[in-house]
Structure 1
């Protein structure tokens, strides 16, 4: 099983993060499954459990045709998974996944099992974001940030900011012909 492990150490505008980093691990399938497992380990902030201030980690997986999967995970068990066909073009929303979380005093962890068919065929790029805080004190962190100052405010859907990933190594079937006929993507490719 191949894995990819990252730590988010920068804000969206490329400044240092001043707390323990968010860690995200992508883990490929076992012999009997075709799932991508996403593990999150992150600081637990004292954020309200409401849409305006909830802490989240977002994982985006993109192919060269600008099709992408967006996975949003929170420490409180909420999750939101959607397929996008180009910049902010929602094709499918509220896709079901298995998701569990564990909270300790200062940290939380999450495990999301994503069906392989949810990923667009031949993923080549990705980005990971973490958000916490509320209002003016909301913090936006990024694996691949806006190092050139292109945006005044974070735009997580700016696909030009995404960095490379070898998804063929992590989830080999993602690079097979079968992905072009998956139920999730057949009508959009």
Structure 2
């Protein structure tokens, strides 16, 4: 077996750190290059576990096709470094692929050194991503293509193991998390983990369409899958803008011109479902095949506004609503999503986005909710277990639609996984490469 190096360090700030070096292949063989080094340390406010990486850069395979700085499902097929955090209930963190959540957002920075053919990275892992009472740890590195694919492990499997398996939990080794995060061993399960175990996925819209902080309480919504469909629950500020001339519980075409919360579900063929919900009870659902190409709209929906309180002076009220979206409304193989909130009238119109456009970017001069490149990954397989085929609703819509149904110029003006933390030296991190 190869030698494993574990060093306990203390930075100048007296914050503890643990440094690990991956010196063996997945089954204990020797490696023929500079080893990957990982360092774990707490943030100064104890709200993040910081993972620093110093690794050789092989550029093999080439960088993934996804945008830098965003989650990329399938990253394990590329050049990556992975770290797993496990507890005694076999719950573990993997911000890459999991059994209950994946594609969680992560704050990262990286640098690549062409001279030394190496790369460094820093990932800030929110402590809420960790399962309760982490007791074991392992780390891995992967590079190469085809028959030259190399799998390396901090704590390897036995030499006679048949195949590399980074989820073979019996090879994980103890880690004393109290030396890094003193409160972690006794901390209760985070709300993120509790929601994920129950199949509830929460989201908060905290930014404007161009990535500025929203001034008021953010719109909150949750998704939860059932046999009848996906339940979408919204809790949002209520501004009492002029109401649409519609009927509560019925579709209202043009709802995007009013106070509204919207959510989009997209697949890799640019087919998407748009769901719009208003505080007065109207709704609008559209099927789109291609950017802004509506092929069906005004589908019926079981939607109910359950609460609405009026604003008081300059403080908005609140409205809550619940919708059950039938499984057949979603395009097959949903992989990405975005969500938006709109309120205000005329020049005071305010556009907010879950995944916003960059601030002051000339490529994004105005809000546009159909900029599909801004959509980000969603672990939708945990919402609908069978989302692989076109439903009759989609088949009928595609068969009957020969022309684009415009959604209107006004609408154009709208707009980690829980189980190892995987980081890549080529494209997963945002960086000035």
User: Could you say which structure has the greater relative contact order, defined with CA pairs below 8 angstroms and 6 or more residues apart?
Assistant: 1
Structure 1 CA distance for aligned equivalents of residues 392 and 293 of structure 2: 18
In structure 1, the residue matched to 2:377 is: 164
The secondary structure found in structure 2 opposite 1:172 is coil
Deviations 1:33-85 (A, max 9, x none): 23111111000103111368621000000000000000000000010001000
| Number of equivalent positions | 182
In structure 2, the residue matched to 1:131 is: 342
The secondary structure found in structure 1 opposite 2:275 is strand
CA deviation after TM superposition for structure 1 residue 164, in Å: 0.6
In structure 1, the residue matched to 2:393 is: 184
Deviations 1:85-133 (A, max 9, x none): 0111111110001000021231001111110010000100000000000
Structure 1 CA distance for aligned equivalents of residues 320 and 240 of structure 2: 15
The secondary structure found in structure 2 opposite 1:156 is coil
Structure 2 CA distance for aligned equivalents of residues 121 and 34 of structure 1: 17
CA 1:183–1:75 in structure 2 vs 1: closer, same or farther (change >3 Å)?
A: same
Unaligned runs of 5+ in 1: none
Structure 1 CA distance for aligned equivalents of residues 257 and 298 of structure 2: 20
In structure 2, the residue matched to 1:71 is: 275
TM superposition score normalised by structure 2: 0.41
Of residues 14, 17, 41 in structure 1, which corresponds to 2:235? 41
Structure 2 CA distance for aligned equivalents of residues 121 and 2 of structure 1: 20
Rg larger in structure: 2
Structure 2 CA distance for aligned equivalents of residues 9 and 137 of structure 1: 18
TM superposition score normalised by structure 1: 0.91
Unaligned runs of 5+ in 2: 1-197, 245-254, 311-316, 400-433
Structure 1 CA distance for aligned equivalents of residues 384 and 202 of structure 2: 14
In structure 1, the residue matched to 2:54 is: none
CA RMSD for the aligned pairs? 1.6
